Amino acid sequence: MAADDITVENLRQLLHIQTELREQAETKGRKAQRVLVGLLETFAPDEVDQRLKSARPLDSLPVEELEQLVRQHIGNQLHQAQVLLKDSQSAKTLQHNRDQLDKLRSQDESLREENARLVSQVTSLEIERNNLLNQVTALQSVSPVSLEQVMNKDDNKQADSEKSDARPPEPDWMMEWRQSETFERDARILTMIGETGLARRPLIEAQAAEMFGIKKAGGSIQALLSRLGELKLIDTFRPWEADGAGTGGRFPDLVRLAERGQMAYWLLTGENPGMNEYDLLLERHVSPEHTLLNLQAADVLREAGYQVNLTPPDVNLPDGGLFKPDLVLIDGQGTLLFVEVERDTDKNVEQRQAKWRNFYQASGGKMFVVCDNRSCMRNIRSEINYCLGNRSLVVSLTNLADLQTGKRGDGDRIWLEIKQKGND
């Protein structure tokens, strides 16, 4: 069953339960109304007759107004009892009246408590209904069709890529490269870069070492990449503004196929290369550093067993707001999850609060956040608590710096903190 089918079926079941609870609440409200009308018919028949003549029968009044009428007539009868006492009415009759009044007061108090409980239950059901509607809207915006299109490896290649038997003559530099002793190894790495779209040099070196059966990437792999650079087949670049990374260590060198490298890939495979992972995400994120953090977070989440969509569509919310998730996951049960990826940097408070409110609406209160380090994780936890208050939600938090040192949460999971607030 598709991911959205499972989730929508769950939502339908919740909506069915909500309808049954609402019907039970309305039934109890009608019962309370009937009890109050019966009391008025017994102790205030004149009031009943008067309202019938005015075409406004008692069973058309809300419970609160019926309660006021009961209180009013009980007070009148108490006053009459006190007058009768002064006129030397028997103590026995007065005591009987007092007993009746005490009984009525007890019934009235019970009805008031029941009515308050029903009002609270209806309010909770309204909140739950709104959350369900928000989740449905989010699911409709991020359909499994769009997820599969982005997650599919072949979709990283341009739509017009196709093999062609009629190729133009190869340029001189390509023929010269083919004749070199290192061509086969060079071509295998260049093809791997073009197929995977990998941009981070350490990952390219590690994958190349595995491809050649080398235990650990070392000088031979580094020399091979340097040679591809000298041949003007790849470009190496460093877009970072700082030296260190928020997750520890240093920012890596990045690699992309140069114009000549893209041509070489086409001549070798008959296809256009896949989109470079860094170039693919840079337009979606605020900085090169945030782009890298999304790539690193996606690596960790895939290793944990999630399917990861790096370029999910925006989610239009029912209240007119817009939520732009950093990542969208599908877990082992086929459930769709939204993830935000955060760096430990200064941020605009108002924009942050709007972001967390939109995240809450789109996810139905099931929020996942990946941070670069422990300090960032603490700050994000405080932001969410301050912004969303006592709303019912579950927030799963983790940070890459601690994960890289081997730290894990309960059950050896990557989520280091899971905070639940509100109703269970």
Is 337 within 8 Å of 327 (Cβ atoms)? no
Give the C-alpha separation, 27 to 50, whole Å. Answer: 27
Structure-model confidence comparison of residues 401 and 98, the more confident one: 401
Is 172 within 8 Å of 214 (Cβ atoms)? no
pLDDT of residue 405: 93
Nearest alpha carbon to residue 67 among 36, 93, 107, 113: 36
pLDDT of residue 90: 62
Please state, rounded to an integer, the average pLDDT across all residues of the chain: 81
Tell me how far CA of residue 265 lies from CA of 172, 186, 192, 234, 260, in angstroms: 15, 11, 10, 11, 9
**143 — phi, psi (to 5°)?**
-85, 155
pLDDT of residue 389: 87
Is residue 322 over pLDDT 60?
yes
pLDDT of residue 158: 46
Give the C-alpha separation, 52 to 178, whole Å. Answer: 103
Which ranges in 249-397 belong to alpha helices (H)?
259-269, 277-282, 288-303, 349-363, 374-388
Is residue 355 over pLDDT 80?
yes
274 contacts: CB under 8 Å, gap ≥ 6? 156, 157, 194, 195, 196, 197
Nearest 10 degrees: Cα torsion 163, 168, 174, 179: 90
Q: What is the mean pLDDT of residues 117-130?
A: 64
Is 193 within 8 Å of 257 (Cβ atoms)? yes
Angle, to 10 degrees, between the axis of helix 91-141 and the axis of helix 349-363? 100
Per-residue pLDDT tens for 97-114?
Answer: 777 777 777 777 777 777
Number of residues that make up the chain: 424
pLDDT of residue 248: 82
Is residue 33 over pLDDT 80?
no
Per-residue pLDDT tens for 225-237?
Answer: 999 999 999 999 9
Confidence band of 144 (pLDDT split at 50, 70, 90): very low
Confidence band of 172 (pLDDT split at 50, 70, 90): very high
Q: What is the mean pLDDT of residues 311-316?
A: 91
Looking up tokens 């007092």, which residue turns up? 98
Which ranges in 183-282 belong to alpha helices (H)?
183-196, 201-211, 219-230, 259-269, 277-282
pLDDT of residue 411: 87
Is 251 within 8 Å of 343 (Cβ atoms)? no
Per-residue pLDDT tens for 365-397?
Answer: 999 999 999 999 999 999 999 999 889 999 999
Per-residue pLDDT tens for 60-92?
Answer: 667 677 677 777 777 777 777 676 666 655 667
Per-residue pLDDT tens for 288-306?
Answer: 999 999 999 999 999 999 9
Give the C-alpha separation, 305 to 333, whole Å. Answer: 11
pLDDT of residue 164: 43
Structure-model confidence comparison of residues 22 and 150, the more confident one: 22
pLDDT of residue 403: 95
Is residue 240 over pLDDT 80?
yes
Structure-model confidence comparison of residues 357 and 39, the more confident one: 357
Range in 36-50, 128-142, 247-261 the model is least confident about? 128-142
Range in 4-13, 192-201, 345-354 the model is least confident about? 4-13
Which ranges in 304-373 belong to alpha helices (H)?
349-363
Domains recognised in the chain with CATH numbers: 3-126 (no CATH), 144-151+283-421 (3.40.1350.10), 159-274 (1.10.10)
pLDDT of residue 154: 44
